[in-house]
């Protein structure tokens, strides 16, 4: 049965969910205390997320900062993300196009699980670059994760010019 407003009881909605969108820019806003993923991008093309401040309590589950899934041509830049789960998570669900051509640059990741590949890898992930980013207090900083039954090709994932301070695990 549905709860109030058609949301299942116990379901924590995503704060911003963009699905099947093209040419989108999210810029210059503060996002605070989402009940679930802060920004979830699904099947989107040509998205820019810039100059964002995203925060959630350190112990809040599933409060990923920005999650591009099955998207193409995504730029995430000059964002500060301090959350209870993945700061940025690169994902791909099954039966969809791969996640490809994502650049994360000039960001600061505080509490959270850093820049993570997976765990949903669906039809694959390729051409991901994380550069000129600072990780302060994340645990871990860089992570590639997947269960045996959720694996797929992961190609051309580059982390460069990374600064880490007080991280739990670097990679």
Catalytically annotated residues = 85, 113
Could you tell me which residues come within 8 angstroms of residue 71 by beta carbon, excluding any fewer than 6 positions away? 41, 42, 43, 44, 45, 47, 99, 100, 102
The two tokens of residue 161 are 């010019």
Spatial distance between the Cα atoms of 156 and 2, rounded to a whole number of angstroms: 42
* Neighbour tally for 54: CB within 10 Å: 28
Residue 126's SS3 state is strand
């Amino acid at each position: 049965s549905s709860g109030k407003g058609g949301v299942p009881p116990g379901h924590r909605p995503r704060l911003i969910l963009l699905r099947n969108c093209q040419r989108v820019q999210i810029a210059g806003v503060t996002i605070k205390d989402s009940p679930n993923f802060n920004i979830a991008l699904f099947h989107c093309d040509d998205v820019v997320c810039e100059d964002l401040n995203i925060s959630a309590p350190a112990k809040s589950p599933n409060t990923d900062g920005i999650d591009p899934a099955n998207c193409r041509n995504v730029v995430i830049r000059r964002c500060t993300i301090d959350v209870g789960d993945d700061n940025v998570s690169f994902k791909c669900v099954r039966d969809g196009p791969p996640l490809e051509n994502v650049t994360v640059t000039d960001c600061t990741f505080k509490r959270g699980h850093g820049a993570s590949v997976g765990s949903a890898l669906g039809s694959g992930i390729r051409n991901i670059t994380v550069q000129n980013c600072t990780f302060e207090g994340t645990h871990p900083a860089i992570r590639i994760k997947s269960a045996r039954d959720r694996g797929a090709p992961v190609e051309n994932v580059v982390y460069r010019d990374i600064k880490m301070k007080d991280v739990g695990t670097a990679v």
